[in-house]
């Protein structure tokens, strides 16, 4: 029996889900674009490790837990591990057509945690919080504090007097009194928006609301900007998923925003699992997403002949004739928002630069602009390098390889063929080499 599993590697919690066919079981168990094989990340004690090893061990741990869980059920298994806003239209056959690509505002639920700690810096002082975070012996207390904030920001439970209770580690109070040489209880009495009750800090509702304001305002702006797009019309439902969708301030703000526009705002039960459930369902029925929109413009870096109007800084002379070329030209093969059906491909034509060339290396770039001119423009980033094998040099420069990239799915599949006969050739797409 084949088991399909989905893994969600979160900033605070990591989870996995799996299914056999019609049954779903769940177990609760880096925002960095420039990834490379040599990238290193710190642990909670600021010791650096190779990121690729951390991810590998994390996935292996989750896979092993999954295997244990499945063996308990008595199944033999084949082991196989494999805040955005998007708009989709439900077609008559219940498949989905993407009207607007997923877009994000750079603020996730973790930004609330950051603002909570910024507030704690105002209460305790930046030196106190910095020492509390950096001392190894405080790691457990720090984790408990972060977990308490995570739970409180989702549930937003206020007492009858309008205060939210946050459990303050005793060590944090001790550090304050050591550094400031003051009694913490006397210090906090002078503050208007927080009280101390035994080990609990009581934050008043207006202060908590202020902490949420930038995130909520940014989310509202993102949704309004998205539904204002020309192709986005007749919105009937807004579905909020992910753990932070449970937060009352967030979903109430969105519901209030659209209450007079005949738009249903839906928060499913256990919204933190909705993404995992969707991943499982998509694996069974990938055709459910009929079309997708390209999130970027894709192109290659090209040295081409100079044209009037080219940037003078891009001018370069090559060869014995000193012919003038333009360097770093962005040769586009997919445009931002282009629509692709499931399995549809984009094609690149690759030619050798010398008669005896046996492989061609081509740098692939993305851009958040529709018509970028150069790969050095703002918003352009190197995605990776295509290496196209062209071993038969019989025809010298008169050779061409067609490279196709699958754009209409969640995976990039790259294939190559030598033309005109269509003989398959090896293509490697390296997205982890140092950029």
Query: Residue ranges per domain, the chain?
Result: 4-72, 110-209, 294-430
170 pLDDT above the threshold of 60: yes
SS3 state of residue 306: coil
CA distances from 284 to 20, 127, 280, 287 (A): 10, 52, 7, 9
More confident residue, 371 or 62: 371
Regarding beta strands 289-293 and 96-104, do their DSSP bridges make them parallel or antiparallel, or are they unpaired?
parallel
Task: Give the range among 31-40, 77-86, 87-96, 120-129 with minimum mean pLDDT.
Answer: 77-86
Strands laid side by side in the 380-389 sheet:
315-318, 323-334, 297-305, 359-367, 380-389, 427-430
End-to-end CA distance of the chain: 41
Report pLDDT for 24.
43
pLDDT, tens only, 112-144: 888 899 999 999 999 999 999 999 899 889 989
395 pLDDT above the threshold of 90: yes
Q: Are 188 and 123 in contact (CB under 8 A)?
A: yes
SS3 state of residue 50: strand
pLDDT band of 28, cuts 50, 70, 90: very low
Strands annotated E in 74-133: 84-90, 96-104
- Beta bridge partners of residue 329, listed in sequence order: 302, 374
Q: Are 287 and 335 in contact (CB under 8 A)?
A: no
Whole-number Å distance between alpha carbons of 4 and 51: 25
Q: What are phi and psi of 273, to 5 degrees?
A: -95, -10
SS3 state of residue 292: strand
Q: Are 220 and 253 in contact (CB under 8 A)?
A: yes
Q: Structure tokens of 272?
A: 């933190």
68 pLDDT above the threshold of 90: no
Whole-number Å distance between alpha carbons of 154 and 164: 12
Instruction: Classify domain 294-430 by CATH architecture.
Output: Sandwich (2.60)
How is 357-389 classified by DSSP, letter by letter?
Answer: --EEEEEEEEESSSS--BTTSTTEEEEEEEEEE
CA distances from 110 to 122, 181, 204, 246 (A): 19, 33, 21, 14
Report pLDDT for 14.
62
Report pLDDT for 304.
86
Q: CB count, 10 Å around CB of 289?
A: 18
Whole-number Å distance between alpha carbons of 296 and 101: 9
Report the pLDDT averaged over residues 53-62: 77
82 pLDDT above the threshold of 50: no
Report pLDDT for 151.
84
Helix, strand, coil share (%) of the chain residues, nearest 5: 30, 30, 35
pLDDT band of 70, cuts 50, 70, 90: low
Q: Are 279 and 289 in contact (CB under 8 A)?
A: no
Using a CB cutoff of 8 Å and minimum separation of 24, what contacts does 262-265 make? 262/236, 263/235, 263/236, 263/237, 263/238, 264/236, 264/237, 264/238, 265/237, 265/238, 265/240
Contacts of 184 (CB under 8 A, 6+ apart): 173, 176, 177, 196
Contacts of 66 (CB under 8 A, 6+ apart): 3, 5, 16, 18, 27
Report pLDDT for 80.
39
pLDDT band of 408, cuts 50, 70, 90: confident
Whole-number Å distance between alpha carbons of 389 and 357: 9
């Amino acid at each position: 029996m084949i088991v399909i599993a989905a893994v969600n590697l979160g900033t605070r919690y990591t989870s996995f889900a799996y299914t056999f066919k019609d049954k779903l079981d769940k177990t609760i168990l880096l925002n960095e674009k420039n990834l490379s094989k040599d990238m290193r990340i710190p642990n909670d004690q600021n010791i650096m490790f190779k990121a690729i090893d951390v991810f590998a061990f994390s996935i292996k741990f989750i896979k092993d837990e999954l295997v244990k869980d499945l063996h308990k059920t008595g199944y033999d298994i084949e082991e196989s591990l494999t805040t955005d806003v998007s708009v989709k239209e439900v077609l008559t056959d219940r498949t989905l057509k993407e009207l607007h690509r997923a877009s994000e505002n750079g603020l996730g639920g973790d930004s609330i945690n950051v603002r909570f700690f910024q507030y704690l810096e105002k209460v305790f002082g930046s030196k106190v919080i910095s020492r509390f975070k950096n001392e190894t012996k405080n790691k457990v207390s720090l984790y408990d504090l972060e977990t308490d904030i995570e739970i409180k920001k989702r549930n937003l439970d206020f007492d009858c007097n309008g205060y939210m209770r946050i459990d303050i580690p005793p060590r944090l109070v001790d550090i304050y009194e050591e550094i400031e040489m003051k009694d913490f209880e006397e210090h906090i009495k002078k503050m208007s928006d927080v009280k101390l009750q035994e080990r609990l800090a009581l934050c008043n509702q207006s202060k908590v609301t202020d902490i949420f304001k930038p995130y909520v305002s940014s989310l509202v702006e993102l949704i309004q900007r998205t539904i204002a797009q020309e192709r986005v019309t007749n919105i009937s439902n807004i579905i909020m998923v992910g753990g932070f969708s449970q937060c009352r301030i967030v979903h109430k703000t969105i519901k209030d925003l659209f209450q007079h526009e005949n738009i249903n705002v839906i928060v499913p039960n256990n919204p933190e699992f909705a993404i995992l459930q969707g991943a499982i369902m998509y694996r069974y029925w990938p055709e459910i997403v009929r079309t997708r929109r390209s999130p970027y413009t894709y192109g290659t870096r090209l040295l081409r002949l100079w044209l009037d109007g080219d940037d003078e800084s891009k001018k370069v002379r090559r060869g014995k004739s000193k012919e003038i070329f333009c360097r770093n030209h962005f040769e586009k093969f997919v445009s931002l928002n282009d629509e692709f059906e499931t399995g549809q491909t984009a094609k690149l034509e690759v030619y050798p630069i010398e008669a005896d060339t046996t492989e061609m290396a081509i740098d692939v770039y993305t851009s958040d602009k529709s018509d970028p001119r150069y790969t050095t423009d703002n918003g352009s980033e190197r995605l990776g390098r295509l290496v196209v094998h062209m071993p038969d040099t019989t025809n010298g420069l008169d050779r061409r390889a067609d490279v196709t990239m699958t754009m209409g799915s969640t995976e990039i599949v790259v294939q190559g063929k030598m033309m005109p006969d269509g003989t398959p050739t090896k293509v490697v797409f390296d997205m982890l080499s140092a950029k």
